């Protein structure tokens, strides 16, 4: 797979120094490799996007909507191949891979419809002062660099690519080097639809490629989803150019269970929040706050539920949870198991890597975890759940908010008035009440504190790629 980069409407061979090995995490073995893009090729991609911008931003919103509808349709036509690739390269169970594809399709369809509803570029603005007229215009930000992670490829790129194209921006997309293959579908679809050359460019690579893109002075905006450590580097690059940036970063989210909640239902919500995608989610609700009155009944059932999960190769077994996506993540999670032993944490379930081929770990539950434990405060990015008890609503809110992150939270209670009240008090960007983590394209996505800057999805996702221009004219 040498022609792995899509630049100016053509597939080209990588000319970088890095060879990217693409692995099957259920086997711990590579099944493809490709050469990274060089710094010069990143420059070519940005130049192509810059050259395509004038014509693309002046296309009608309805024309752009037609292309987005085409992306949605073409994704559906590639359904089985894309689902299988998600399973093979990410280790996702089939039902998760299916939802990923459906989310990507829904995103392109939603922004196609939003583009069709875009108002005229000019909107009159009434002024109190006489003798002047004013109008406002919504214009595309320009050329944007999109850097996406390995835990939800295809999905996260759809969240960025669809609104950027709808707004009239041209883009350079850099997938993760861990999962570089599935985003190539977007280049194939661009070819099939006849998308103008340079509107979409895709460059693959490791840190050198990402740095070349984020540092490029030909970009007008950066949008990044990933770790806080890399996000801070992206932000420094953006600050050097004084250009806007959207960052969707980490989380250490809480799930709060009150004692009036049905125990079995609570267990279902808790398990989904920590084992979906093997816990490799910035939104994983990895801190369980359980009220004293329900804790003794809930924790044993939660322990049993985690121990009974089927963990295995999604391509050959019927599983509830697959492997971790990379060896590096497997080693990281194993390191936290060692830390838990050093800290003397009470392990009710799991706490170990599985003795089999591939990068598997057991779904894990620690009880009565101190607030100063590294496992309570740090993002692990694996199926590792830490539990603490609380007595009052005020205590639950205080402990849930006691984090440097603020991405999401879940509240479980039969008292809906209380659940709504707690949701309003939580310092996060998204709250679920009595639900699994259902994410809808019409809602917003993003966090507070150290979880990022800006919002994706919904109309906010579109506005992130739009610039507001005001024109004032003297009538005298």
Which active-site residues does the annotation give? 248, 282
Q: Using the structure block, give the residue that is written with the tokens 């994704």.
A: 75
Cα separation, 56 vs 211, whole angstroms: 26
3 state SS of 24? strand
Cα separation, 242 vs 364, whole angstroms: 43
28 backbone φψ class: left, alpha, beta (φ>0; ψ -120 to 50):
left
| Chain mean position to CA 392 | 33
Q: Within 10 Å of residue 232's Cβ, how many Cβ atoms? A: 13
Distances (CA, A) of 30 to 22, 147, 333, 405: 5, 23, 21, 34
| Chain mean position to CA 90 | 14
3 state SS of 276? helix
Cα separation, 206 vs 120, whole angstroms: 41
Residue 172 near residue 160, CB atoms below 8 Å: no
Q: What is the DSSP string of 278-346?
A: GG--TT---EEEEEHHHHHHHHHHHHHHHHT--BS-TTTS--SB---S-HHHHHHHHHHHHHHHHHT-E
């Amino acid at each position: 797979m040498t022609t792995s980069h899509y630049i100016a409407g053509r597939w080209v061979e990588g000319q970088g120094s890095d060879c990217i090995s693409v692995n099957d995490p259920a086997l711990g073995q590579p099944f493809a490799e490709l050469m990274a893009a060089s710094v010069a090729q990143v420059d070519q991609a940005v130049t192509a996007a810059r050259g395509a911008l004038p014509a693309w931003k002046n296309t009608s919103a309805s024309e752009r909507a037609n292309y987005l509808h085409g992306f949605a349709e073409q994704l559906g036509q590639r359904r089985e191949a894309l689902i299988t690739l998600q399973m093979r390269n990410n280790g996702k169970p089939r039902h998760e891979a299916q939802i990923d594809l459906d989310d990507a399709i829904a995103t392109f369809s939603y922004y196609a419809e939003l583009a069709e509803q875009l108002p005229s570029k000019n909107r009159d603005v009434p002024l109190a002062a006489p003798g002047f007229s004013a109008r406002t215009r919504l214009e595309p930000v320009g050329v944007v660099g999109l850097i996406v992670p390995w835990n939800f490829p295809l999905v996260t790129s759809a969240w960025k690519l669809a609104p950027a194209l709808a707004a009239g921006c041209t883009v350079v997309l850099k997938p993760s080097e861990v999962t570089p293959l599935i985003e190539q579908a977007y280049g194939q679809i661009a070819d099939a639809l006849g998308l103008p050359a340079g509107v979409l460019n895709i460059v693959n690579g490791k840190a050198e490629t990402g740095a070349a893109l984020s540092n490029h002075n030909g970009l007008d905006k950066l949008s990044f989803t990933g770790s806080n450590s890399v996000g801070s580097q992206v932000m420094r690059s953006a600050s050097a150019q004084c250009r806007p940036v959207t960052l969707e970063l980490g989380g250490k989210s809480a799930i709060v269970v009150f004692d009036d909640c049905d125990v079995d239902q609570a267990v279902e919500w808790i398990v989904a929040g920590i084992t979906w995608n093997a816990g490799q989610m910035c939104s994983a609700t990895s801190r369980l706050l359980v009220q004293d009155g329900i804790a003794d009944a809930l924790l044993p059932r939660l322990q049993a539920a985690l121990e009974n999960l089927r963990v295995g190769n999604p391509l050959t077994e019927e599983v509830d949870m697959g492997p971790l996506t990379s060896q590096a993540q497997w080693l990281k999670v194993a390191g936290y198991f060692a830390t838990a032993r050093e800290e003397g944490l009470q392990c009710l379930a799991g706490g170990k890597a599985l003795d089999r081929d591939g990068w598997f770990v057991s779904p894990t539950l620690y009880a009565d975890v101190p607030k100063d434990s590294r496992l309570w405060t740090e993002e692990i990015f694996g199926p590792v759940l830490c539990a603490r008890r609380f007595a009052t609503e005020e205590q639950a809110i205080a402990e849930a908010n006691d984090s440097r992150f603020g991405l999401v939270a879940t509240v479980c209670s039969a008292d809906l008035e209380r659940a709504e009240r707690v949701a309003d008090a939580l310092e996060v960007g998204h709250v679920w009440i009595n639900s699994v983590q259902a994410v809808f394209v019409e809602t917003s996505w993003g966090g507070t504190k150290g979880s990022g800057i800006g919002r994706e999805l919904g109309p906010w996702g579109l506005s992130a790629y739009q610039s507001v221009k005001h024109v004032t004219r003297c009538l005298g």
